[in-house]
Structure 1
Amino acid sequence: MTQQANDDRPGIAAAVIVSEGRVLLVRRRVKEGQLSWQFPAGEVEPGESDEDAAVRETREETGLEVKALKSLGSRIHPKTQRHMSYTACEVVAGTAHVADPDELAELAWCSHAEISHYVPYGLYAPVQLYLDHIMKG
């Protein structure tokens, strides 16, 4: 069998949050490989859905209350080899800030044109298509 050791680790759920034509990105205090700027994300807890984990992690990391809209897909991340799920979310309440300074260094609301500056290696294709549609639409 060719299972990887990482398969025992919980999956990571990411929240793709667009508000007023900008997408929320966070910069981790500790890089995970090449990854520095990314979507609010964290490990899925036992018994938790990917969508619920994305909502919870967003609240814990940024103080924003968001609502899951739909799944944008999942994959084994090519840089970290972790199972990643992506959930489109909308802001329900709050103002984004670094709510967990142990995890995050800063955050930014990025325009569509700025995404490649923050994430130069590109986004997961279904996420990029969603952002192309919702941010350029």
Structure 2
Amino acid sequence: MKTISYGVLIVNEQGQLLMAHATGQKHWDIPKGGAEAGESAREAAVREVREETGIELAADSMEELGRMPYRPAKDLHLFRVFVHTRDCDIAACKCTSFFPHHASGVMTPEVDQFKWVDTADVPALAAKSMTAVLRTLPGFGTTRDT
């Protein structure tokens, strides 16, 4: 049976996507993760954003994009929200979700960096599976206009 990750595309007024760097990984990602017992898709997405970025989203501000294929054993259920950078200071973002580091066992934040990314630059930063999902959505191009 497939698992589901719930995530939010946070888009600023320049059309840039908020991406988070997964600690110890090569790729950047969107805030996402699994639901806890009893959570709706929307509640899980809001909690994951809060845990991974510190950003508090109003559940009713998010547009539901739906469930889509992601990896062989996992689907994504995505939402999108538009924000103004004046209201969403990524310099203040902080991950409060931790995991034990594979080598040291030290509790380590899941996410260690944040940045606004032009949609044309997403394929260079995100994993192929995430890029493939994002390319199915309107407004996500694969090349930069010059």
TM superposition score normalised by structure 1: 0.71
Runs of 5+ unmatched residues, structure 1: none
Residues matched between the structures, number: 122
Q: Secondary structure of 2:27's partner? A: strand
CA contact (8 A) 1:65 1:94 kept: no
| Structure-2 separation of matches of 1:16 and 1:124 | 12
Q: Which range is displaced more, 113-122 or 15-24?
A: 113-122
RMSD of aligned alpha carbons: 2.7
Report the more deviating stretch, 12-21 or 114-123: 114-123
Matches within 5 A, 1:1-137: 4=1, 7=2, 11-21=4-14, 22-31=16-25, 36-67=27-58, 68-78=61-71, 81-91=73-83, 93-96=87-90, 97-100=93-96, 102-119=109-126, 121=128, 122-124=131-133, 128-131=137-140
Deviations 1:108-131 (A, max 9, x none): 110122112212622315753254
Match of 2:35, as an amino acid? V
Q: Which has the higher strand share?
A: 1
Secondary structure of residue in 1 paired with 2:39: coil
Q: Which runs of 5+ in 2 are unaligned?
A: 97-107
Query: Computing the radius of gyration over CA atoms, which structure comes out larger, 1 or 2?
Result: 2
Q: Does the 8 Å contact 1:13/1:44 carry over to 2? A: yes
